[in-house]
Chains A and B, each alone.
Chain A
Amino acid sequence: MTPSLPDILVGNFMCMIDPPPPEQQGEFMAGKVAVVALLSLLAAQEAERGVAARMTENASIAALLGEAAADYEVEALAGTDDLSLAALDAANARLRLALMRLHEAVEEKGDTARHHAILRLYAQMADLRRLDMPPLPGH
């Protein structure tokens, strides 16, 4: 997914380093600081859970592709032993593309059971990537 955790953390620096023009100080700058603070908090969640989430998602997609290989043309994909976020994301992109191709073939064939299995996998993937907003008071 983009932006990546390094993107966010680099961005938190980049967006604050230039001195703002007079009309962007005050309320605007206060708002910007609040957004940067929130991004930092979410980045902490990603730092804690991001690697595990990607490993689980990649393994789940690979398992589903493996199960489908008997009935569909599924390309063989090499995994990765590199546990950096960048390497896991690169592997994830390959797996997701293969999953999308499989899902289209499954839909075309009218294979309801596998279609539903893929939808359940999507729900799992979305949950693994979840970021939790803290309860920010609204008024």
Chain B
Amino acid sequence: MSLAERLEAYLSRVWGEAVTVVDLSRIPGGASRETYRFSARTAKGERPLILRRDPPGSLIETDRNQEYLAFESFHDRLPVPRPVAMEAEGAELERPFFIMERVEGGTAASPFTIVPYGDHARAIGEQFFSILGTIAAADPSSLPLARAAEAPAPDACWKIALDHWAGVIEADQQHPQPIVWAAIRALRRRPPPPAQAIRVVHGDYRTGNFLHDGAGKILAILDWEMVHLGDPLEDLGWAIDPLWGHFEADKVAGMLPREEALAIWKKASGLAIDETALAWWSLFNAVKGQAIWTSAAKEYRDGGFKDPVLAISGWYTARRHDEILAAALMRWENLS
């Protein structure tokens, strides 16, 4: 049975009417989910949709229920697609999946390109950091996400996050990684102050994980698979990680100078930025990145070397993050 036939069987059953799947096509990029665009044709008309299905092996183990609830939480207040259906057990598609409405006319930047936003970098940057600030401003207890996401204590955010990603490295490393372990020890020796508020953390908020129209407008914030509740500075540290800088040292995320980006975030979130805390979360994010790339390398090998995106992640990006980590550790100790 083809994927299109499985989708037809599923949608016909849950919608209670005959559904024909047309124009099913896999979208390149991403290794944590297989992503397909398709249209569901019924007697009432055609509905453009996106399918996100778990791959046989995944770059990261994530909670698809929380991911789905994040879309539910933000689709009516930010440029976020409306979710349509979610099946944690896979149903007719055999692997867990969810379906959301398709946002037309958008493109996502590859994080390893240069000048991806052209003359619109400033406009995109203003929206990018304002949207992140708006996510950080939301009271999580009022959101659908609160049904599944546990709220940590403000002074426990850092340890929960660090323990999780250190555990991933411990489990998946196939070659000793002294740089990232030195960073993990440094982070434990000098913890950050408690989170000023417990807020929604997107978990992978960065260039490349949103659609824009090519004319300076962000159309859709995507890739919520690592969403959780925690310290909102975690997201900010990830968004400005040098890995996502498009090789532009004078800007963050290839969009704006750092101070401008932080000022926009502060205004939108209503939160303060403690530079000591942000330095901790920045070093943490380089550890988190290295954990993800470590898992990618393992998955690439375990999966029979079939996914070249895992190869790029486990090889090139892992080495970039070793450079970033080594430089950050030098700064951490005021060395040059």
Residues on A facing B (Cβ under 8 Å): 1-3, 7-8, 10-12, 14-15, 18, 21-24, 26-28, 30-32, 35-36, 38-39, 42, 89, 92-93, 96-97, 99-100, 103-104, 107, 115-116, 118-120, 122-123, 125-127, 129-131, 133, 135-139
Cβ of B272 within 8 Å of any chain A Cβ, yes or no, is: no
Cβ of B193 within 8 Å of any chain A Cβ, yes or no, is: no
Which of A89, A99, A115, A131: most chain B Cβ within 10 A?
A: A131
Within 235-266 of B, Cβ neighbours of A (below 8 Å) are at 246-247, 254
Verify B174–A2 contact, CB threshold 8 A: yes
Verify B25–A10 contact, CB threshold 8 A: no
Verify A42–B315 contact, CB threshold 8 A: yes
Verify B297–A2 contact, CB threshold 8 A: yes
**Complex formed: what's the CA distance from A35 to B304 in Å?**
17
Verify B25–A26 contact, CB threshold 8 A: yes
Cβ of B84 within 8 Å of any chain A Cβ, yes or no, is: no
Among B118, B175, B176, B177, point to the contact of A139 (Cβ < 8 A). B118
Tell me how far the C-beta of B117 lies from the nearest C-beta in chain A, rounded to whole angstroms: 7
Among A30, A104, A120, point to the contact of B28 (Cβ < 8 A). A30
Given A2-B174, A3-B300, A3-B314, the answer on whether A39 and B308 have CB atoms closer than 8 Å is yes
For A125, what are the chain B residues with a Cβ–Cβ distance below 8 Å?
A: 178-179, 322, 326
For B29, what are the chain A residues with a Cβ–Cβ distance below 8 Å?
A: 31
**Complex formed: what's the CA distance from A3 to B116 in Å?**
28
Verify B335–A11 contact, CB threshold 8 A: no
Verify A138–B110 contact, CB threshold 8 A: yes
Among A39, A118, A123, A137, point to the contact of B114 (Cβ < 8 A). A137
Give the nearest-CB partner of A112 in chain B. Answer: B333
Cβ of B222 within 8 Å of any chain A Cβ, yes or no, is: no
Tell me how far the C-beta of B259 lies from the nearest C-beta in chain A, rounded to whole angstroms: 24
- State the majority secondary structure of interface residues on A: helix
6 contacts between A and B (CB under 8 A): A7-B300, A18-B306, A42-B315, A96-B175, A119-B326, A136-B110
Given contact pairs A12-B308, A27-B25, A129-B322, a sample of 10 additional A-B residue pairs in the complex whose CB atoms are under 8 Å apart: A1-B315, A3-B311, A21-B2, A24-B26, A38-B312, A93-B176, A100-B178, A126-B325, A127-B326, A138-B246
Residues on B facing A (Cβ under 8 Å): 2-4, 24-29, 36, 109-110, 112-118, 174-179, 181-182, 185, 189, 214, 246-247, 254, 297-298, 300-301, 304-309, 311-312, 314-316, 318-320, 322-323, 325-327, 329-330, 333, 335
Verify A122–B182 contact, CB threshold 8 A: yes
For B178, what are the chain A residues with a Cβ–Cβ distance below 8 Å?
A: 96, 99-100, 103, 122, 125
Given A11-B311, A138-B110, the answer on whether A122 and B329 have CB atoms closer than 8 Å is yes
For A89, what are the chain B residues with a Cβ–Cβ distance below 8 Å?
A: 175
**Complex formed: what's the CA distance from A99 to B329 in Å?**
16
Which of B28, B109, B117: most chain A Cβ within 10 A?
A: B28
Give the nearest-CB partner of B318 in chain A. Answer: A1
Among A10, A22, A126, point to the contact of B319 (Cβ < 8 A). A126
Give the nearest-CB partner of A14 in chain B. Answer: B305
Given A100-B181, A126-B322, A131-B316, the answer on whether A36 and B301 have CB atoms closer than 8 Å is no
For A139, what are the chain B residues with a Cβ–Cβ distance below 8 Å?
A: 109, 113, 115-118, 214
Given A3-B300, A15-B308, A99-B178, the answer on whether A131 and B319 have CB atoms closer than 8 Å is yes
Verify A42–B28 contact, CB threshold 8 A: no
